[in-house]
Structure 1
Amino acid sequence: MATNYQTKIVALWMVFLLGTLFHTQLALMPLFHGLSVIESQKATTINEISGIMWLMLGFFILPMLAIIATVFTENKSYRVVHFGLTIVYSVLNFIHLLLDMLLPQVIWYQITLMVLLFLIGLLLNFVAFQWMKSPLRNNNSPERLTAYH
Structure 2
Amino acid sequence: MAIKSQEKIINLWIVFLLGLLFHTDLGLMPLFHELSVAHSHSQALAEVDPIMWLMLGFFVLPMAAIIGTSLMESRRYRWVHFGLTVVYSLLNFSHLVADLMVQPIVWYQIVLMAILFAIGLLLNLVSFQWIKEWGHTHHHLGDKIRA
Same fold (TM over 0.5): yes
Q: How far apart are the structure 2 equivalents of 1:44 and 1:95?
A: 24
Question: CA-to-partner distance for each residue in 1:25-74, whole Å, 9 max, x for gaps?
Answer: 001100111112262731243x3311000000000000000000000010
Q: Paired residue for 1:19?
A: 19
User: Residues 43-122 of structure 1 correspond to what in structure 2 (within 5 A)?
Assistant: 43-45=43-45, 47-122=46-121
Residues 5 and 36 of structure 1: CA distance in aligned 2, closer, same or farther (over 3 Å): same
Q: How far apart are the structure 2 equivalents of 1:40 and 1:99?
A: 17
Amino acid at match of 1:66: A
Identity of aligned residues (%): 59
Query: Which structure 1 segments of 5+ residues have no match?
Result: 142-149
Query: Which structure 2 segments of 5+ residues have no match?
Result: 142-147
Q: Paired residue for 1:145?
A: none
Normalised by the size of structure 2, how large is the TM-score? 0.87
Q: How far apart are the structure 2 equivalents of 1:96 and 1:134?
A: 32
Q: How far apart are the structure 2 equivalents of 1:3 and 1:54?
A: 35
Q: How far apart are the structure 1 equivalents of 2:5 and 2:40?
A: 39
Q: Aligned-pair RMSD on alpha carbons? A: 1.8
Q: Which runs of 4+ in 1 moved over 3 A?
A: none
Residues 40 and 58 of structure 1: CA distance in aligned 2, closer, same or farther (over 3 Å): farther
C-alpha displacement of 1:120: 0.6
Partner of 1:135, secondary structure, is: helix
C-alpha displacement of 1:2: 5.0
Q: How far apart are the structure 2 equivalents of 1:89 and 1:63?
A: 9
User: Residues 131-142 of structure 1 correspond to what in structure 2 (within 5 A)?
Assistant: 131-135=130-134
C-alpha displacement of 1:3: 4.7
